[in-house]
Structure formats: C-alpha cells, structure tokens
Chains A and B, each alone.
Chain A
Amino acid sequence: MVPPVAVSPVIKTARWSFLLIGMFYGKQRYDYLKPRAEKERLVEEAEKKIREEQEKIAKALAEASEDTILK
C-alpha cells in the first residue's frame, strides 16, 4: 500500500475550520429560517381559507346562473 501522505498544516487547518464554520452557518441559517417558515405557513393558511371561500361563492354563482335544463 502507498504510505499515507503527510498533509500540509495549512490544508488541515483550512479543512477543519471550514467544517466548523459550516456547522455554525448551517445552525444559524436554520434558526433564522425556522420562525419565518412558521409565519409563512400561518399566512398561507389564512389566505387559503379566504381563497376557498371565494371559490365556493364563485362556484355557487356559476351554478345558479348557468342556463341548462339538465338540472
């Protein structure tokens, strides 16, 4: 087997510091995005309800005003 290579300290420190920085960044971004996603979900639910109400009204109107004898 090829003997293991002695990796330069620059590369080693760079790798592991990037790993740690990445872990911090991931955690921070997750904590930033989570409450926003919750708010977005609530807003989406409220809007969905309004939209469904309007669709129901529109559907009822459409049904009432269509002039076919096949009722």
Chain B
Amino acid sequence: MAQAVQKLVAKVPTLIGAAATYSKPRLATFWHYAKVELVPPSPAEIPQAIAGIKNILTGVNSGRLGQTTVKDAFRNGMVCTEVLMWFYIGECIGKGGIVGYAV
C-alpha cells in the first residue's frame, strides 16, 4: 500500500509535465483566437453596436427580418443563445458557485 502510494507520488511530476506539454499548444491556439474574438468592445465600437441594434429594430419593423432564410435564422439563433449564456456565466461568478446559491 505504501509502495503503491510512493510510486504514484513519484509519477506526479511526469503527469504534470505531460499535461503541460499537451495543453500548451491548445492554450496557444485558444489565446490566438480569443485575443481577437472574445475581447470586450473598445469604446469606439459601442456607438457602432448601438447603431447595429437600431438596424435590427428597423429590420423588425419594416418586415425585412421576416425574409431571413431558415439557415440564417438558425445561425442567428445559435449566436443569440451563446450570447444569452454569458448572462448565466456572469450569474455563476456573482453568486460564487456553479450549482445553486451557497446560502
């Protein structure tokens, strides 16, 4: 029993090294994309965002949005779902836990 534990403890540095070598390139690709795609909007982009939202609202009122293809609607629906999920991630951060409120 003690020998098995010792062997396991001796393996931990190799395991950590293997995990690091495995994850480094993947983290690098993730960072490469996240730097461009996941950054918060710069102050210059916020008026563009407001203009974009107004665009969408005029599209709704004029009926242009009724002309979207199913493919586009599906894609837009996926994007909306992803954006809404960020609310729940924020809620998890705010309440300090993943499942449920730790009261």
Chain A interfacial positions (CB closer than 8 Å to B): 1, 4-16, 18-30, 33-34, 36-38
Contacts and interface: CB of A to CB of B under 8 A. Distances in A.
Interface of B: 29, 32-33, 35-37, 39-41, 45-46, 48-49, 52-53, 56, 79, 82-84, 86-96, 101, 103
Contact of B103 (A13, A18, A25, A30): A30
Among B29, B40, B94, B96, the most chain A Cβ lie within 10 Å of the Cβ of: B94
Contacts of A19: 86-87, 89-90, 93
Contacts of A4: 32-33, 35-37
Contacts of B37: 4-5, 7
16 contacts: A4-B36, A5-B36, A9-B45, A12-B40, A12-B49, A13-B46, A15-B82, A18-B86, A19-B93, A23-B91, A23-B93, A23-B94, A26-B94, A30-B96, A33-B103, A34-B103
